[in-house]
Structure 1
Amino acid sequence: MIVITINGKTTVIDGWREWIVRAIVFVVMLLLLAAVVFLMLGLAVTLGAVLMIAIPAAIVVALLGSMFAKH
C-alpha cells in the first residue's frame, strides 16, 4: 500500500496499481543508476588516458629542459 498526502488530501494506491507504480519506480531508478555508472566509468577511462599521456610527456619535457639548460 502506497499512501501519498499532498496539501491535506490523502491518496491510497494499492492492488495492481501499486505493483505497476513500484515496477516503474524500480526501472527508473535502475536506469538512473546505470547512467551514473556509465558516466563515472567514462570519466575514469578519460582521466586515466589523459594521465597516461601527460605524465610521460611531462617527464620527457623535463629531461630535455635539463639537458639543454645553461648552467
Structure 2
Amino acid sequence: MIVIERNGETTVITGWREWVVRAVVFLAMILLLGIVVFLMLGLAVTLGAVLMITIPAVIVVALLGSMFANR
C-alpha cells in the first residue's frame, strides 16, 4: 500500500497499480545508479590516463633540468 498526501488529500494506491509504481521507481533508481557508476568509472579512467602521462613527463623534465643545470 502506497499512501500519498498532497494538499490535504490522501491518495492510497493498492493492488496491481502499486506493483507498477514500485517497479517503475525501482527501474528508475537502477538507471540512476548505472549512470552514476558510468560517470565515476569514466572519471577514474580519465584521471588515471592523465596521471600515467603527466607523472613520467614531469620526471623526465626534472631529470633533464638537473642534467643541464649550471652548477
* TM value normalised by structure 2: 0.98
- Does 1:10 find its partner at 2:13? no
* Alpha-carbon RMSD: 0.5
The 2-side partners of 1:20 and 1:6 are apart by: 20
Q: Which residue of 2 aligns with 1:35?
A: 35
Distance in 2, Cα, partners of 1:26 & 1:54: 42
AA aligned to 2:16 is W
**Number of aligned residue pairs:** 71
* Structure 2: gaps (5+ residues): none
Provide the rounded CA distance (Å) in 2 between the counterparts of 1:68 and 1:9. 80
Find the aligned partners of 1:59 and 1:69 in 2 and give their Cα distance.
15
For 1:41 and 1:56, how far apart are their aligned partners in 2? 23
> Which residue pairs with 2:63 in the alignment?
63
Identity %: 79
SS at match of 1:3: strand
1:7 is displaced (CA, Å) by 1.5
Show structure 1 runs of 4+ deviating over 2 A: none
